[in-house]
């Protein structure tokens, strides 16, 4: 008995404590209704805490719900926390619309996924090596999802071995990095191993060739993971809520991470909580300078370039407009660009007046000054200067 107690104590000491801080997550294991109460779910809180009066999101449905009450071991409580078994009385949802395997989480903290980069540990007792694209049962929390496995470090995985893989799921799963999972064969249903999630929102990887990207992500600290997400998003950037859903961090954790990266000059904050990697903003700066230089060569008489033309060349997507604003502000600070309202130009650009246009410009200026408040129309000025009306308009805009 003493040896058993020692062994249990040793195992207990090695178990990682469930995080009481951070986002709340509870995988649902039962759903039922109670007369006078409505829909009730039960489950074990895996992280964070939840208080009465707070709202919760049901995943993968993405529906935000109100709480009617909380219980722990049949006792009404005001708060539940990581490690506790709990019952939650939910409003705004029927029993038929919520199921075992669904996840309750802090609203906006987790985004369901159909692909996972994972490290798989195949049991020594697995009956045979695991082959490419084997169909498996993935158990995560209380949910079972069918998936195909893509091996990234070889064509097979032998019993007792570990490898980086990608799981392509047949149904959405609310998962976070470092979550554990269990693998079973499709038929007969037999446990053959398990593993941990490296990236819950990876790109689709090619077999064998994709291992380097997963290995890099596996070893990255949180700040580097956030920076990598922003680098991948490029000129589009990412909203705060989307970064949070991809990383599974609490608001406070992500805010601290972004603040640190911003102080280091590695990220930039736009309006409406859209964030950009410094490299992405620098790339937009280059595109802006190139677009302005090209326009100045094509239209040497015009002093400024309409901003809408710069947008079309450097940031055509709506998501990129905030990055363009950050890039223009940086270029103005650097003294490379002059920007006034909806017009901009390279700092060194001056209209090149010569020949017929120089003479016409002088005539237009003289006529405008002579006319006082009764300014002639562009057509009248064009006639007096000997220009076509569209060329006169170019002179006026310059």
| Residue 177 burial (10 A CB sphere; 0-12, 13-18, 19+) | buried
**What percent of the chain is modeled with pLDDT above 90?**
56
Q: Which of 217, 246, 261 represents a domain boundary (last residue)?
A: 217
Q: Are residues 334 and 255 in the same domain?
A: yes
> Rounded to two decimals, what is the model's pTM?
0.71
Residue 4 lies in a domain: no
- CA angle 141/146/147 to nearest 5° reads 105
- Tell me which residue range forms the domain holding 369: 355-397
Say if residue 270's pLDDT is above 70: yes
| pLDDT tens by residue, 157-176 | 999 999 999 999 999 999 99
Residue 341 lies in a domain: yes
Say if residue 220's pLDDT is above 80: no
Higher model confidence: residue 272 or residue 351? 272
Residue with structure tokens 């710069």? 310
| pLDDT tens by residue, 126-151 | 999 999 999 999 999 999 999 999 99
**Residue 390: count of CB within 10 angstroms of its CB:** 9
| Residue 225 burial (10 A CB sphere; 0-12, 13-18, 19+) | middle
Q: What mean pLDDT is reported for the chain?
A: 86
**What percent of the chain is modeled with pLDDT above 70?**
83
Residue 5 lies in a domain: no
Give the separation between CA 197 and CA 175, rounded to whole angstroms.
8
Q: What residues contact 53, with CB distance under 8 A and at least 6 apart?
A: 67
Residue 12 lies in a domain: no
Q: Are residues 172 and 212 in the same domain?
A: yes
Count: domains in the chain = 4
Sheet with 274-277: strands ordered across: 238-239, 274-277, 267-269
Residue 2 lies in a domain: no
Instruction: Report helix, strand or coil for 300.
Output: coil
The band of 390, judged by pLDDT with boundaries at 50, 70 and 90, is low
Q: Which of 223-232, 257-266, 351-360 has the lowest mean pLDDT?
A: 351-360
Q: Supply 264's token pair.
A: 């280091």
DSSP string, 82-96: TT-EEEEEESS--GG
């Amino acid at each position: 008995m003493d040896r058993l107690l020692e062994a249990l104590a040793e195992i207990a000491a090695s178990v990682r404590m469930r995080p009481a801080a951070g986002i709340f997550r509870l995988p649902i294991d039962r759903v039922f209704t109670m007369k006078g109460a409505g829909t009730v779910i039960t489950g074990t809180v895996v992280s964070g805490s939840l208080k009465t009066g707070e709202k919760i999101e049901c995943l993968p449905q993405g529906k935000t719900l109100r709480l009617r009450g909380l219980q722990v071991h049949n006792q009404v409580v005001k708060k539940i926390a990581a490690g506790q078994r709990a019952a939650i009385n939910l409003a705004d949802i029927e029993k038929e619309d919520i199921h075992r395997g669904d996840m309750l989480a802090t609203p906006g903290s987790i985004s369901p996924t159909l692909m996972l980069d994972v490290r798989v540990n195949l049991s020594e007792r697995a009956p045979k090596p695991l082959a490419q694209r084997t169909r498996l049962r993935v158990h995560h929390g209380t949910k079972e999802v069918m998936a195909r496995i893509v091996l990234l470090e070889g064509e097979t995985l032998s019993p007792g071995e570990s490898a980086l893989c990608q799981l392509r799921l047949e149904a959405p799963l609310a998962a976070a990095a470092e979550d554990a999972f269990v693998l079973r064969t499709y038929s007969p249903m037999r446990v053959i191993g398990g593993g941990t999630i490296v990236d819950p929102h990876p790109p689709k990887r090619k077999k064998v060739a994709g291992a380097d990207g997963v290995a890099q992500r596996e070893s990255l600290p949180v700040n580097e993971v956030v920076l990598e997400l922003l680098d991948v998003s490029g000129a589009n950037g990412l909203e705060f809520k989307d970064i949070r859903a991809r990383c599974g961090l609490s608001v406070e954790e992500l805010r601290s991470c972004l603040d640190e990266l911003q102080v280091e000059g590695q990220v930039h904050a736009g309006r409406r909580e859209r964030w950009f990697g410094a490299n992405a903003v620098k790339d937009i700066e280059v595109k802006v300078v190139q677009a302005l230089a090209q326009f100045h060569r094509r239209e040497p008489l015009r002093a400024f370039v309409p901003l809408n033309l710069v947008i079309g060349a450097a940031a055509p997507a709506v998501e990129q407009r905030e990055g363009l604003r950050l890039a223009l502000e940086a270029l103005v600070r650097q003294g490379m660009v002059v920007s006034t309202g909806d017009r901009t130009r390279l700092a060194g650009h001056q209209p090149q007046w010569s020949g017929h246009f120089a003479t016409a410009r002088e005539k237009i200026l003289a006529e405008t000054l002579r006319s006082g408040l009764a300014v002639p129309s562009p057509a009248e000025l064009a006639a007096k200067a000997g220009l076509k009306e569209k060329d006169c308009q170019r002179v006026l805009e310059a």
